[in-house]
Structure 1
Amino acid sequence: MKKWLTGILVVVVVIFVGFELMDTFQESKDREPIRTMQATDFSLPTLTGKEMSLSSVQGKVVILNFWASWCEPCNIEMPHLQSFYEKYQTDVEILAINVTSKDSEVAVKKFVDQYDLTFPILLDASGDISTMYGAFSIPMTIILNRNGEIEQEIVGPVEEELLEKYIQPSL
């Protein structure tokens, strides 16, 4: 009898823990903003060789996307980012920040060509900007409102619908 009760108790605990973990993973994808604070300005070289700063897109909703060419989830999300950009580029700027300290420029160019990306690709060769923004796991996406304040942080690949949900209040 005791073994039977112990078995049932273990099953109940496992089910409870499973549901809690499921909620946790769902919340990490679709959570409320962690903080609203002013984004720190930075300047990085682009894949085309020009220098670009965050302040140069002031007044637009900005999506900072930290990624690398070897990152499989980054490969999954890029077509979604490109499609989103084509729809919203008048009001929203995407700055795709490649973690070049863990990538190569040749691989980045190949990746950009593969997905026919048209938004700015910035190269963070030192990793300083990625570190400054806490992008320790990629892909990571940070959404800034028109005032340059951090509205949302998303760890993991994003889809168009999720981005649309988060930018709507700022448009």
Structure 2
Amino acid sequence: MARNSTDTKEKLLDAFEILLDEHGTSGATLDAVAAKAGVSKGGLLYHFGSKAELIKGSLERLSRLVDDDVESMKSAGDRLHLYYLETSAEVGTPLDRSLIAANCLSQENADAKNALRKTREAWFDVLNDHLGDPDMAMTIQLIGDGMYFNQNFGLSQDEALAHVKNVLARLGL
């Protein structure tokens, strides 16, 4: 049975992102990625000819996931800002893993830093379009950042979200 090339590429990107999270850029070597994905190094090099290509693939994946997230935000209609906040603290999702990987890469890679900047801008733009107030859009985005931070340190997101929703209701949102 023939292997699906897309599945193999996704396995390799998954392995790369996991290794970045667990060991940083120095631990995400081509050999380690191939081993983690259960693919030969030749198989890895067939799909990604270098670490630079693997990084590019990871950042392209992040862009696709952010585009999908923005579309999901838009489909939430009047609840767009609440959808953003409700999903801000989701960890372990493909988008979360891609964001963590890009953050690890951004310490030494300008393209990764730029990808994170574009991600923030995409979320801000859709929040601003929805709310019609750049200050409120930035405030919602920063609240989402705080909720994500809390979730990553094991603090209760449900309680934080309830507090935020109470304040937003008082503001008419």
Whether these two folds match at TM > 0.5 is: no
TM class by shorter chain equals under 0.3
RCO (CA 8 Å, sep 6+): is it higher in 1 or 2? 1
User: Given the two structures, how large is their TM-score scaled by the length of structure 1?
Assistant: 0.25
User: Given the two structures, how large is their TM-score scaled by the length of structure 2?
Assistant: 0.25
Larger Rg: 1
